[in-house]
Amino acid sequence: MTVHEALEVIARNRGEQIVITTMTAVAIWPELSDTPLDFAYMPSAMGQAPGLAQGLALASARGVIVIHGDGCTLMNLGCLVTLAHTPADVTLIILDNALYEVTGGQPPAGAGRTDFAALARAAGIGRVYAFSEHNDWQSLGPQALNGKGPAVIHLRVEGRMGQKAPRPHRTMSDQIQRLREAICR
């Protein structure tokens, strides 16, 4: 499945949840959704979007979907244990393209072999899903996206070469302000 196909399913089924995008997804997501509950986390701290999502979910009592990559998840695998230990309504989606896409397409350690779903289960996450086919993701994605978090969804997607680091359409301060206004309503 392509990244675009993977994200379309999320956009159709996210409901009123906050969506935090990172890296590759930052460039594509605005074609699918542009609401105050969409937060393009760029510039970012490497691997730290799940923690940001967990804090937001604990603070706002609203579900948070965080769209992460395989490389950045590997930089902070402890986030799975932290999320299981202090449960919050967070759905961590790992787009696994087996590439560091914006640095020239180099493979991360364990590229294509790492079983993120097994890692999530071993960390204590109760709701864990894995999809590699678009049809399966389309049919079962709504259920996976709408249960109570914490949840982890591992999606194998096609890698793309020649990508550059995306830039969000809004400044960080604008994004924070409109997200705060939306969650305080």
Partner 1 sequence: MITGSDFVAALREAGITDIPWLPDSELGRWESALAAAITPRLIRVCREGEALAIAAGLLIGGRTPLVAMQCTGLFEAGDSLRNFAHDLKLPLRVLVGVRSWRAYLQQQTADTCPSFTIPIIEAWGIPYRWLDGTMADLLAALNEPGPRFYLLPE
Provide the binding-site residues for partner 1, judged by CB under 8 A: 43-60, 76, 78-79, 81-82, 85-86, 172-173, 176, 179-180, 183-184
Choose between 6 and 42: whose C-beta lies nearer to partner 1. Answer: 42
Choose between 75 and 140: whose C-beta lies nearer to partner 1. Answer: 75
Closest distance of CB 4 from partner 1, Å: 27
Choose between 49 and 130: whose C-beta lies nearer to partner 1. Answer: 49
Question: Mind giving me the DSSP string for 91-139?
Answer: EEEEEE-SSBGGGTSBPPTTTTT--HHHHHHHHT-SEEEEE-SHHHHHH
Closest distance of CB 153 from partner 1, Å: 20
Closest distance of CB 24 from partner 1, Å: 18
CB contact at 8 A, 91 and 63 = yes
What is the 3-state secondary structure of 11-43? HHHCCCCEEEECHHHHHHHHHHCCCCCEEECCC
38-40/64-69 β-pairing: unpaired
Choose between 12 and 170: whose C-beta lies nearer to partner 1. Answer: 170
Closest distance of CB 161 from partner 1, Å: 26
